């Protein structure tokens, strides 16, 4: 975890840049959510868009218990349970017995789940390629590099629980 810095340790110029970044990130998240809601209208009937996050984790991290998925997705176990049941009903996920504890079950993607996930990924990639079509290659590479760097910085600097209340109240003003 990166050391916490006080606001006084930052210059006015650094805080101005951070404020503009905050504004742009809020705009970005809103636009991504708008795009995702449009895509959701085209998705398979009965499957919540949020359920695809479960499928993503199962494909990338392997079979998991519901409790581990809830922790990874910062969601309630009941929510993950409901969404995963929908994925099971649609044949995208299956329940397997846990080899470490036969009383428990693991959720795992099916071949159909992998196919649907890859199709969604191809659609997302085509859309992003269209968005960036008029960007020079160097700018596209720079964007990827800088987003990776930003994500890595965020991952190592997630606020502690005590800080989240003040961060959330500040975020409400954005």
pLDDT tens string, the chain, 174 residues long: the values are: 445 555 568 999 999 999 999 999 999 999 988 887 776 655 555 577 778 889 999 999 999 999 999 999 989 999 999 999 989 999 999 999 988 887 889 999 999 999 988 988 898 899 999 999 999 999 999 999 999 999 999 989 988 765 444 444 444 444
The secondary structure of residue 161, as a DSSP letter, is H
**Tokens read off for 150:** 């930003």
Question: Under 8 Å CB-to-CB from 70, ≥6 apart: which residues?
Answer: 76, 77, 79, 80
Domains and CATH numbers, the chain: 39-142 (1.10.10.10)
**pLDDT attached to residue 6:** 59
Q: Residue 96: beta bridge partners?
A: 106
pLDDT of 29: 93
């Amino acid at each position: 975890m990166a050391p916490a810095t006080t606001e006084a340790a930052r210059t006015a110029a650094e805080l101005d840049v951070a404020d503009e970044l905050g504004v742009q990130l809020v705009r970005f998240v809103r636009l991504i959510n708008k795009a995702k809601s449009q895509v959701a209208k085209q998705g398979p009937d009965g499957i919540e868009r949020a359920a695809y996050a479960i499928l993503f984790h199962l494909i990338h991290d392997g079979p998991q218990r519901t409790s581990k998925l809830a922790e990874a997705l910062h969601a309630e176990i009941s929510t993950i349970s409901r969404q995963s049941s929908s994925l099971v009903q649609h044949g995208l996920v299956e329940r397997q017995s846990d080899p470490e504890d036969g009383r428990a079950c693991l959720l795992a993607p099916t071949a159909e789940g992998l196919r649907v996930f890859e199709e969604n990924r191809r659609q997302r990639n085509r859309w992003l390629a269209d968005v960036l079509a008029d960007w020079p290659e160097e700018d596209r590479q720079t964007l990827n590099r800088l987003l990776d760097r930003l994500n890595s910085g965020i991952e190592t600097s997630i606020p502690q629980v005590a800080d989240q209340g003040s961060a959330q109240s500040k975020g409400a003003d954005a």
